[in-house]
Chain A
Amino acid sequence: MISTPALVYGLTGLLLFVVGLAGLISCAQLLRKILAANIMASGVFLFLVTIAHGRGIVIDPVPHAMVLTGIVVSVSSTAVALALACRVQETANIHDLRKIRARGDER
């Protein structure tokens, strides 16, 4: 049915997606949330490429091209997210910052 690499990498992709989702909903620090979103994206990419590899004899290059585009898009969205996160830290007042950090240190 499904070859061994397709099985292993496909399940890993799904697992990375779920782990990233867990981090995204439960980490308090903004930077950590962005890292988690990146891990989720990696899981999705891994799953897409595995589908291209696992089904059929010929490797399907269309998912490869989509993943390539996705990597560039994810890096630009990461950059925007990081700029926003830094902006939040810079403009929030001391009280808010202390609250954010207190929540972050609990983790």
Chain B
Amino acid sequence: MRGSDSTGQSRGRGLVSPVHLVMLIGLFTALSWGYLAPGLESSGLAHRLDASLVDSGVESRVTAVLLNFRAYDTLLECFVLFLGVVAVWSLRPVGSDRHDPPPGLILSSLVRLLVPLMVLVGGYLLWAGSNQAGGAFQAGAIVGGAGVLLLLTSSPLLSAFPKGLLSWGICLGPFFFLLVAVIALGQGRNFMEYRREMAAMTIVALEAVAALSIGLSLAALFGGRRPEAHQEMAGQDEPSPGEGEER
């Protein structure tokens, strides 16, 4: 592996200067020495996690970590996504810059067919997340992908979606999370600590809201600018079926 690095870099049309090359090879050697050196064995947190999995409300270990044991990670991640949308929107004026010709019959009917299916798959992934692979992120990504598809084909479905709901939908995820966390704090528990009998329900609700919000945010990131409320075809958001499915 190290050989492919050095030979690749030396024949790479001078991508890096020799000094940089030496430093990078040194960095790689140091890192791999640190990784391969004995004495770094640790059992990780798997055993402690398995011991308290029954309390978490879900069977999937990754979902339990994401939405219960380390739920503040997901909370902050939702806020990062929210801030990302705010930053992207603030860099360009409100409006729309897509003047593509309308897609052909085949493409528009394919999108018409695919988008509900993608929303359905997103819903399935959300539901499957409690005991196998899947969860809010994956569902949100699929919903976001459906939004990207609609944006790319400038589908007429977009104009059916009320533009005001987009901002609200994006805000909903992080602030709903925060609300749940603060309510737990107000009832004398720790930050983001759910009541044990309510844990499963809380996680499902949080996941559904987070998936919807993540999907809207990803589609908005792709759209790149805030849609104008009055203009036709100016949207960069989800169709109304996305809403109905996720709620």
Which residues from chain A sit less than 8 Å from chain B, CB to CB?
1-2, 7, 10-12, 14-15, 17-19, 21-23, 25-27, 47, 52, 55-56, 58-66, 68-69, 71-73, 75-77, 79-80, 83-84, 87, 107
**Whole-angstrom CA separation of A71 from B115 in the bound complex:** 23
Please tell me which stretch of B43-51, B120-128, B188-196, B198-206 contacts chain A, meaning at least 4 of its Cβ atoms lie within 8 angstroms of it: B43-51
- B46, A80: Cβ atoms under 8 Å? no
Q: What's the tally of chain B residues with a CB closer than 8 Å to chain A?
A: 56
Q: Which residue of A lies closest to B42 (CB)?
A: A55
- A56, B20: Cβ atoms under 8 Å? no
- A72, B137: Cβ atoms under 8 Å? yes
Report which of A2, A22, A47, A69 forms a contact with B73, defined as CB distance below 8 A. Answer: A69
Across-interface contacts of A15 in B (CB, < 8 A): 1-2, 4-5, 28
- B43, A55: Cβ atoms under 8 Å? yes
Across-interface contacts of A21 in B (CB, < 8 A): 24, 27
Among B44, B66, B77, B81, the most chain A Cβ lie within 10 Å of the Cβ of B44
The contact sample of 9 A-B pairs, CB cut-off 8 A, is A14-B28, A14-B31, A14-B35, A18-B28, A22-B15, A61-B46, A62-B44, A73-B80, A76-B83
- A83, B87: Cβ atoms under 8 Å? yes
- B44, A56: Cβ atoms under 8 Å? yes
Chain B contacts with A in 1-52, Cβ cutoff 8 A: 1-2, 4-5, 8-9, 13, 15-17, 20-21, 24-25, 27-28, 31-32, 35-36, 38, 41-47, 49-50
- B44, A52: Cβ atoms under 8 Å? yes
